[in-house]
Amino acid sequence: MNKKHLLLISVPFIFSACQSLPTHLKDNEAMMIEAKSPNLLQTLADYTWSKQTHENLPPITLNLDAEKKLSISSGCNHLMGVWQFDGKQINTSPLASTLMMCPPHLMAQEQSARQFFNQAHLNVSIDMRHPAQPTLILENMTGQKIKFQGTLKPEAQYKSTGEVIFLEISPTKKACSTSNGSKQCLQVKQIQYNDQGVQTRIDESWQVLPVEIQGYKHDSGLRQVIRVKRFNTKPQTATPEYAYIYDMTVEQEVIPKK
């Protein structure tokens, strides 16, 4: 019997470390950015920040967006709030969260993240000596410091918000092209939904996707529908080329073994 699971918890975008710098940070400006720098707010919003506390635990991931929304993922629930900058510190609101029960080690990591960020006043600086992976240093009022590694967001790299699309992923891959039959690519169908979440259109046939979906892990035992962001990497050309960034899985179906 086929089993379908609707997955409603969003996951942070995962993006490769080999990225170009935002335009406001040139190579010769790679240095320690203190709180007084005018580049600070933009840099905070341009990167996703993560902290690996233990090799057997998922990282703590921090997102500070330009609309002053704050979100934190630690492997269990997602923490959400708002943040402000007063010229010296990042100040955060009380944090709300999803309400899942998780293994004790994940709950403990979540609680540590909540204690550090909930209604916090954090001194901040950013080490840009390695611009592809800058270091964010946050210090609370008790002197506790946490260092986060930055990964440039696709919105900053491609200088656009990207287009949200939904793709059905076939369990089986197909040769990417006749000239390179050894490389296997995903087969996808694009799905469209209306504002009420009702499916209004789906491609009739499978299309070979010639590029990888960054952050997506394929499972040949599942048929999945995923949400991605699609970025035009060459907006000035007549033939656009796209980068696809995995956001979340919205539906999956177990394929019976033959």
pLDDT per residue over 1-25, tens digit each? 444 433 333 333 322 233 333 444 4
pLDDT of residue 103: 92
Residue boundaries of the structural domains of the chain: 27-158, 160-254
Q: To the nearest 10°, report the CA torsion of 111, 217, 152, 27.
A: 130
Query: 120: which residues sit within 8 A by CB, 6+ positions away?
Result: 90, 91, 92, 140, 141
Q: To the nearest 10°, report the CA torsion of 95, 229, 49, 90.
A: -50
Contact 83, 93 (CB under 8 A): yes
Give pTM, 2 decimals: 0.68
> Can you name the residues that pair with 169 across neighbouring β-strands?
188, 224
Strands 242-254 and 213-214: parallel
Q: Within 10 Å of residue 50's Cβ, how many Cβ atoms? A: 20
Does 3.40.109.10 match the CATH number of domain 27-158? no
- Tokens 């709950």 correspond to what residue? 107
Q: Within 10 Å of residue 228's Cβ, how many Cβ atoms? A: 24
Q: What angle do CA 162, 168, 170 make, to 5 degrees?
A: 130
pLDDT of residue 149: 96
pLDDT beneath 70, residues of the chain: 1-38, 178-181, 238, 258
User: Over the stretch 211-225, which tens digit does the pLDDT of each residue have?
Assistant: 999 989 999 999 899
DSSP reduced 3-state for 181: coil
Q: What Rg do the C-alpha atoms of the chain give, in angstroms?
A: 20
Query: 220: which residues sit within 8 A by CB, 6+ positions away?
Result: 171, 172, 173, 255
Structure tokens at 70: 């704050």
pLDDT of residue 12: 32
Contact 82, 70 (CB under 8 A): yes
